């Protein structure tokens, strides 16, 4: 089977990952201690092979940019350097924009935060034991609605073709109940945005543009990929160890995958401006910001992100503690991107770390984010923390890479059995799902690829009627449940809440490889 690379080969290619990378630009012109300390730290942090190919980092007070640094090209290999005006996709940080919009619509008397789902969407009939009369807008936006709906979440974020006109049908057919405790997901923001559209006749994108972006002067903020000028579009990157430079550019997100829980492009300069607005409580009434920042949901136990602990969630913001100080924080991740942003209202500080890599953007971006706080605030432990983070980064990344390679190799070894080969032949063809629509499983360039809508993943068959999906070259295999249709005996598999039934052996002519 193609793409069966051993760990030694991968390590060999890791040594040349940095070939062809655009160097980091200098920090801001200030010769302050912060500039010197952060530049030294970032130069050392960039020294290993798994540094994201592109990133921006910005540290500011409520009024002034204190430090900035950029690295790489807007699109891998295109020669156009990343700047603070490059527009990057910011994934779930979109929730913070929707949260402030919700606080404003509440203050304006348009959609009260304490109104219920039954009040706002009377035609919606959720399956029992879900009760729309007990679910408020606050519950939806603070991840305590108790609604689980994998199909709506996956269709809006990955496969596409699920406009708000389809939400009611999908919610009624595919929703199940969770405990009414904090459970981070996209579903609440999707439902809230559909309510906004029903109640006002205007889309969530339109509301953000007129009531949030324009008043705050966020001229680069858009909610459609197609509206980003290609000359300033920044793309993320996926790990590809056998490529010459170790990475491949991630595809830009399609417009119909830009949703209210993850559908936002913005420049780093405007991201700083956005965070400063929360510190300064500018343009809008302070009570609107208070409403957005209030921790409506408790995270029990509190979520620990390395040295920072987050015990509550408001309207698009985690409420956290770091070094005894309050931090309002949100992160975001999607194919090729990892984002960390936050502000410290009591310390007049904002930080934005936008990284063009997903898995390996985590360690790099998070270390940058926390070290920026340390040096900006002049914490006594700053130098010791820098030493600890630098010493631990390579070991952490290599443990993660080793794990990813190991689980992939286990799946690939299982695929060499006769039973796996037989299943590989049987599962090829066209499928249909009532929840996701048409799909194919086709042999392409030595790989078996599963395609439905915008989503594509390598399928790896195994013994004992098992199969796995691998979205990226070194992602973690996701097991799919195989079965047979009781009426026809046709092969079926279940993925993300949807049942796919084999309908024919055809449909593969002209199929092109899309999985990484």
The structural domains of the chain, with segments of one domain joined by +, span 7-93+222-400, 418-504
CB proximity list for 287: less than 8 A, separation 6 or greater: 107
Whole-number Å distance between alpha carbons of 30 and 41: 16
What mean pLDDT is predicted for residues 90-96?
98
pLDDT band per the 50, 70, 90 thresholds, residue 10: very low
Which of the two residues, 342 and 510, has the higher pLDDT score?
Answer: 342
Residue bearing tokens 């420049």 = 267
Lowest mean pLDDT among 38-52, 402-416, 478-492: 402-416
Q: Is the pLDDT of residue 40 over 80?
A: yes
Lowest mean pLDDT among 3-12, 297-306, 390-399, 506-515: 3-12
Query: Running DSSP on this structure, what letter comes out for residue 161?
Result: -
Distance of CA 410 to the CA centre of its chain: 27
Residue 504 · residue 440 · CB < 8 Å: no
pLDDT band per the 50, 70, 90 thresholds, residue 356: very high
Angle at 26 between CA 23 and CA 28, to 5 degrees: 150
Whole-number Å distance between alpha carbons of 97 and 102: 9
Give the bridge partners for 351, in sequence order.
59, 342
Strands (E), 169-324: 176-177, 237-239, 247-249, 265-267, 297-305, 308-313, 318-322
CB proximity list for 291: less than 8 A, separation 6 or greater: 103, 106, 107, 113, 315
Q: Is the pLDDT of residue 228 over 80?
A: yes
DSSP string covering 19-58: TTPPPPPP--S--SHHHHHHHHHHHHHTTSTTS-SSEEEE
Element (H, E) at 329: strand 325-334
Query: Running DSSP on this structure, what letter comes out for residue 92?
Result: G
**What sections of 312-417 are H helices per DSSP?**
359-377, 382-414
Lowest mean pLDDT among 148-152, 241-245, 480-484: 241-245
Cα separation values, 407 from 371, 470, 473, 479, 499, Å: 32, 11, 12, 12, 25
What end-to-end distance do the CA atoms of the chain give, in Å? 15
What mean pLDDT is predicted for residues 170-180?
97
Which of the two residues, 247 and 148, has the higher pLDDT score?
Answer: 148
pLDDT band per the 50, 70, 90 thresholds, residue 27: very low
User: What pLDDT is attached to residue 446?
Assistant: 82
pLDDT band per the 50, 70, 90 thresholds, residue 21: very low
* Cβ-based neighbour number of residue 47 at 10 Å: 12
User: What pLDDT is attached to residue 2?
Assistant: 33
What mean pLDDT is predicted for residues 426-447?
93
Q: Is the peptide bond before 129 cis (omega within 30 degrees of 0)?
A: yes
Backbone angles phi, psi at 200, to 5 degrees: -115, -15
pLDDT band per the 50, 70, 90 thresholds, residue 109: very high
User: What pLDDT is attached to residue 6?
Assistant: 36
Closest to 30 (Cα-Cα) out of 61, 83, 68: 68
Mean pLDDT for the chain overall: 90
Give the bridge partners for 310, in sequence order.
303, 320
Backbone angles phi, psi at 320, to 5 degrees: -130, 170
Cα separation values, 490 from 165, 426, 432, 498, 501, Å: 32, 10, 11, 16, 7
User: What pLDDT is attached to residue 28?
Assistant: 40
Residue 439 · residue 491 · CB < 8 Å: no
User: What pLDDT is attached to residue 244?
Assistant: 66
Lowest mean pLDDT among 16-20, 263-267, 281-285, 328-332: 16-20
User: What pLDDT is attached to residue 5?
Assistant: 37
Q: Is the pLDDT of residue 31 over 60?
A: no
For the chain, the helix, strand and coil percentages under 3-state DSSP, each to the nearest 5 = 35, 25, 35
Q: Is the pLDDT of residue 475 over 70?
A: no
Pairing relationship of beta strands 325-334 and 265-267 according to DSSP bridges: unpaired
Q: Is the pLDDT of residue 400 over 70?
A: no
Element (H, E) at 463: none
Which of the two residues, 7 and 263, has the higher pLDDT score?
Answer: 263
What mean pLDDT is predicted for residues 301-325?
96
What mean pLDDT is predicted for residues 452-465?
91
Q: Is the pLDDT of residue 23 over 70?
A: no
Q: Is the pLDDT of residue 290 over 50?
A: yes
Which of the two residues, 214 and 405, has the higher pLDDT score?
Answer: 214
What mean pLDDT is predicted for residues 299-303?
94
Please give the CATH topology (third level) of the domain spanning 7-93+222-400: Beta-lactamase (3.40.710)
The CA-based dihedral angle spanning residues 482, 487, 489, 492, taken in that order and rounded to the nearest 10 degrees: -20
Instruction: Give the three-state DSSP class for 96.
Output: helix
What mean pLDDT is predicted for residues 140-154?
98
Residue 188 · residue 209 · CB < 8 Å: no
Residue 59 · residue 296 · CB < 8 Å: no
Q: Is the pLDDT of residue 8 over 50?
A: no
What are the pLDDT digits (tens) for 240-271?
Answer: 766 666 889 999 999 999 999 999 999 999 99
Is CATH 1.10.530 what the domain over 418-504 is classified as, yes or no?
A: no
Residue bearing tokens 């993925």 = 495
pLDDT band per the 50, 70, 90 thresholds, residue 236: very high
Q: Over pLDDT 90: what percentage of the chain?
A: 75
Strands (E), 118-236: 147-148, 176-177
Residue 363 · residue 393 · CB < 8 Å: yes
513 class by beta-carbon count within 10 Å (0-12 exposed, 13-18 middle, 19+ buried): middle
Whole-number Å distance between alpha carbons of 92 and 73: 23
Backbone angles phi, psi at 239, to 5 degrees: -65, 130
Query: Running DSSP on this structure, what letter comes out for residue 77?
Result: T
């Amino acid at each position: 089977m193609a793409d069966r690379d051993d760990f030694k080969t991968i390590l060999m290619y890791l040594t040349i990952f940095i070939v062809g990378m655009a160097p980091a630009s200098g920090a801001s012109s200030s010769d302050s201690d912060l500039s010197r300390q952060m530049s030294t730290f970032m130069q050392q942090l960039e020294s290993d092979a798994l540094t994201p190919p592109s990133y921006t980092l910005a540290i500011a007070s409520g009024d002034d940019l204190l430090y900035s640094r950029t690295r790489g090209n807007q699109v891998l290999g295109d020669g156009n350097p990343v700047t603070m005006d490059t527009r990057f996709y910011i994934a779930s940080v979109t929730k913070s924009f929707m949260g402030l919009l919700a606080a404003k619509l509440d203050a304006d008397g348009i959609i009260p935060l304490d109104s219920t789902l039954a009040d706002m969407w009377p035609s919606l009939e959720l399956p029992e034991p879900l009760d729309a009369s007990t679910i408020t807008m606050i519950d939806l936006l603070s991840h305590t609605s108790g609604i689980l709906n994998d199909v709506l979440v996956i269709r809006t974020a990955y496969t596409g073709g699920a406009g708000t006109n389809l939400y009611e049908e999908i919610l009624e057919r595919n929703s199940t109940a969770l405990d009414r405790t904090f459970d981070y997901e996209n579903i609440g923001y999707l439902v809230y945005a559909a309510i906004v559209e029903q109640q006002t006749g205007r889309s969530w994108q339109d509301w953000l543009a007129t009531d949030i972006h324009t008043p705050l002067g966020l001229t680069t903020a858009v909610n459609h990929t197609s509206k980003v000028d290609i000359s300033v579009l920044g793309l993320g990157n996926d790990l590809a160890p056998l490529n010459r430079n170790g990475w491949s550019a991630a595809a830009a997100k399609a417009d119909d995958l830009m949703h209210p829980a993850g559908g936002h492009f913005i420049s780093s300069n405007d991201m700083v401006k956005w965070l400063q607005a929360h510190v300064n409580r500018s343009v809008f009434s302070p009570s609107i910001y208070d409403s957005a920042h209030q921790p409506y949901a408790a995270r029990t136990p509190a979520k620990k992100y390395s040295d920072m602990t987050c015990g509550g969630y408001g309207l698009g913001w985690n409420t956290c503690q770091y070094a005894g100080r309050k931090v309002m924080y949100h992160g975001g991740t999607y194919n090729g991107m990892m984002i960390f942003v936050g502000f410290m209202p009591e310390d007049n500080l904002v930080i934005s770390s936008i990284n063009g890599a997903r898995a390996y953007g985590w360690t790099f971006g998070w270390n940058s984010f926390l070290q920026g706080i340390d040096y900006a605030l002049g914490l006594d432990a700053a130098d010791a923390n820098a030493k600890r983070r630098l010493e631990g980064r390579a070991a952490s990344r290599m443990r993660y890479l080793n794990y990813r390679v190991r689980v992939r190799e286990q799946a690939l070894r299982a695929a060499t059995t006769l039973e796996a080969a037989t299943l590989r032949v049987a599962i090829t063809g066209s499928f249909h799902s009532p929840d996701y629509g048409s799909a194919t499983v086709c042999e392409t360039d030595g790989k078996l690829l599963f395609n439905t809508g915008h989503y594509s993943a390598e399928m790896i068959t195994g013994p004992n009627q098992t199969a796995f999906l691998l979205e990226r070259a070194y992602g973690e295999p996701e097991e799919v449940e195989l079965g047979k249709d009781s009426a026809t005996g046709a092969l079926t598999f279940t993925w993300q809440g949807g049942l796919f039934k084999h309908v024919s052996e055809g449909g593969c002519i002209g199929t092109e490889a899309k999985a990484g």
